[in-house]
Every structure is written in structure tokens, then in C-alpha cells.
Structure 1
Amino acid sequence: MSPRSASANEEMRRRSRERLLQATVELIGERGYEATTLADIADRAGTARGLVSYYFPGKRQLLQSAVHRVMHMELEAGLERPPRARDGRERLARAIDAILGLARDRPLLMRTHMAGILQAEGFIQCPEQQRLAHLLHDTVAAYGSPDPDADYPLLRALLMGAVVAVLLPGAPMPFERLRAELFHRYGLDWDLGVPPGPEPPPAGA
């Protein structure tokens, strides 16, 4: 039997890594962060326990990469949803809806993710995060920013702040209100993207 080519080995590594990322999202969504072990994740992914440590230095880093993958996939799906968004304002609206919608639709996963970012390990620039950043950067450029390198970090910060506000225990902000504020900030019409209702909420609601 001939040895596998370098490209075949690389594809196997990519698939193993993605299985681990998917298993992480599934298990933490089901059980929560503390109740999920690396051994659980390896078992769900159908890989050896040692592969987890080969790809990721720890569970926090694995979770960040897994959530960044989900965010990238959700954003990409939103931008490519038929009819494909070509107008920059529509693309930005879809981007806001995709990221903010994850806080509404997957609160446990996103709350755990944000808590991890605020701990000592901080923000990790993994391949999944870089793909997400590239897509958001392109969205800012398509919107017409004269300086996407400066405006992308601002968009990222505003989205992170809105996600935290949706998830804040005891004092969450309504999704619709935050969406309206972000749309106002960027001069976007309410009916762009995927509006949660026919009209924006009244001011102060």
C-alpha cells in the first residue's frame, strides 16, 4: 500500500480538527463548559484524546476556535443566502444580523465564549478567527469604508459589545433595540438583512 500524499495527510488533519471543533460546540451547547471534558470532546469527535492537545493548547483555546468557526459559518451563510448580497449596505446588515443573531439563538454557547475572552487567556487569533476577521473586513470594505483597516476593529468592538448586552445576566438588552442602534450607527434601513419585525422598536423601548 503506497503512503498517503502530503495533500491527503493535510486533508485528514483538517477534517480531524473540524470534527473536534464541531464536537466542542455540540457538547458545550448540551452540557455547559465545566461539565464538558477534553476526553468527552475527543470521544464525540471520534478521535484520539492526544489529538486535542496536538491541535489546541487547552479547552479555552479550543472553545474560542470552535465558536469563531460557528460565527464564520453563520456570517458566510448569511452573506451568500439567495439572493446573494452584492450591495455593501445589505452585506453589512446581514453581517450584523448573523453575529447578533447568534447571541439570541445560542445564548449558552456565546455567553461561555465571551466569558472566556474576558479571562486571562484573552482573545486568540486562531485560523478560524482570522477567517472571520477577513470576511468582516471585506464586508466593511464593501460597505464603502475609506479605511477598512481602522473601521473593521470598530465594527468588531460594536458587535462584541452588542452580544454582551444581549447576554448580560439580570439586565439583558432587547435584541431588537440593539439591532436598531447598530443599524442607526451605520445608516442602514430597518428592512435590510433579516428584520425581526416590520418596524424598529420605538425610541427608548
Structure 2
Amino acid sequence: MSPRRASVNEEMRRRSRERLLQATIDLVSERGYDEITLGDIAERAGAARGLVSYYFPSKRHLLQSAVHRLMNMEVAGALEAAPPDACGPDLLARLIDCILALATDRPTLFRSHMASILAPDTAGFVQCPEQQRLARLMEDTLARSGVQDPEKDYPMLRALLMGAVVGLLLPGAEMPLPRIRTELFRWYGLDWELGVLSATVPPPA
């Protein structure tokens, strides 16, 4: 039997990695970060336990990679669903709305994600391939919306969105989604009617 081509092996590795990332999303959403192990993730993904450590140096790294992949996929889908003649500000509004909706729909996942970044005993923010793809997508959206220096402005957009997620999910002190959306849209000069949440989220009084 002839050995598999390198491209076949690469595709198999890609699929195995993506199964692990998706299993992490599913299990953390269902049970919470502290209630699952790397063995649980491997079992859900149908992979060997050792494969998890091969791709990811830690459980925290795996979680951040999984959430960044989810955000990248959802934002890309939201932008692709925009009308062909959608203006740049509408695309930026769609990006913001997508992140707000994900945090609202998956609070356990996003609380775990933020905790993995902010906990003092961790290495903080993981700049994995999934995060870098999301960064490029966000920079491109900023450029299309008219921002003069998207690479420089991207860290601010990232910080604003992280702050918005914390505001939405801070236990016992959650801020309402309309208020947070209003402040984000005001920062970038976006009309309330843009994006994808305007029809379901009433503007604040």
C-alpha cells in the first residue's frame, strides 16, 4: 500500500483539530469549563487523549482557540449574509452584533473564555492561529467601514468588544444589551438600524 500523500495527512490533521475545537465549545457550553477534562474533550471528538496535547499545550489554550474559531466562523457568516450593496458601516455593525449575540446566547462559554484571559495565574491572551484569523477579519471590516488605520484601530475594537462581553455577563451586575449596543454604535458612528439585532433589540429609552 502506498503512503498517503502529504495533502491527505494535512487534511486529516485539520479535521482532527477542528473536531477538538468544536467538542470544546459544546462541552464548555453544556457543563462549564471547570467540569470537563481534556479526556472528556477527546472522547467527545472521537480522538485519542494524546492528540489533544499534540495540538494544544493546555486546556486554557484549547478553550481560547475554540472560542476564537467560533467567533471567526460566525462573524464571517454574518458578513457573507449581508446584501451585495451593504455599506461598510453596516458590515461593522454586523460584526459587533454577531459578537454581542454570541455572548448573550452562550453565557457559560463566554464567561469561561473571559476568565481564561483575565485570571492572574494564567498567561493571558492566546494569539493562536484562530485568533489571528479573527484579527484579520476584524481589520478588514474596519477598513471597509472607512477606518483610516485598521491595524492600529483593531486593538481598540477588540478591547471594546471584550468590555461589552464583560458588561453583558458580569454576574450580579449585568448591563442590558440595548445600552451596550448603543455605546458601541455611538463610538463608531453607526445608526441603530444597521446590523442584525435592530429588529429584535429595542433601543434604550
- TM bucket normalised to smaller: over 0.9
> CA 1:198/1:115 → structure 2, altered by over 3 Å: closer, same or farther?
closer
> CA 1:45/1:187 → structure 2, altered by over 3 Å: closer, same or farther?
same
Measured against aligned partners, the alpha-carbon deviations of 1:137-185 in whole angstroms (never above 9, x if no partner) come to 0011111111111111111111110011001011000011100111111
Q: CA RMSD in A?
A: 1.2
- 2:82–2:91 CA contact under 8 A, matched in 1: no
- 2:185–2:192 CA contact under 8 A, matched in 1: yes
Percent identity over the alignment is 66
Tell me which residue corresponds to 1:41: 41
| More off after superposition, 190-199 vs 97-106 | 190-199
Q: How does 1:48-87 map to 2 (within 5 A)?
A: 48-84=48-84, 86-87=86-87
Tell me which residue corresponds to 2:4: 4
- Which runs of 5 or more residues in structure 1 are unaligned? none
Tell me which residue corresponds to 1:200: 203
- Counterpart CA distance in 1 for 2:82 and 2:88 is 15
Report the AA paired with residue 185 of structure 1.
W
Structure 1 residue 83, shift from structure 2 partner: 2.4
- Which runs of 5 or more residues in structure 2 are unaligned? none
- Counterpart CA distance in 2 for 1:33 and 1:196 is 33
Secondary structure of the corresponding residue to residue 62 of structure 1:
helix
- Counterpart CA distance in 2 for 1:84 and 1:61 is 37
Report the AA paired with residue 16 of structure 2.
S
Q: What TM-score do you get using the length of structure 2 for normalisation?
A: 0.95
- 1:191–1:198 CA contact under 8 A, matched in 2: no
Report the AA paired with residue 169 of structure 2.
L
Tell me which residue corresponds to 1:130: 132
- 1:176–1:196 CA contact under 8 A, matched in 2: no
Q: How does 1:105-144 map to 2 (within 5 A)?
A: 105-119=105-119, 120-144=122-146
Secondary structure of the corresponding residue to residue 188 of structure 1:
coil
Match of 1:145 among 137, 144, 147: 147
Tell me which residue corresponds to 1:166: 168
4+ aligned runs moved over 6 Å, structure 1: none
Measured against aligned partners, the alpha-carbon deviations of 1:75-134 in whole angstroms (never above 9, x if no partner) come to 011111152464110100000001111111110000000000012220000010011101
Tell whether 2:188 aligns with 1:191: no
Secondary structure of the corresponding residue to residue 34 of structure 1:
helix
- Counterpart CA distance in 2 for 1:41 and 1:77 is 26
Structure 1 residue 197, shift from structure 2 partner: 4.0
- 2:178–2:201 CA contact under 8 A, matched in 1: no
- Counterpart CA distance in 2 for 1:19 and 1:2 is 27
Structure 1 residue 21, shift from structure 2 partner: 0.2
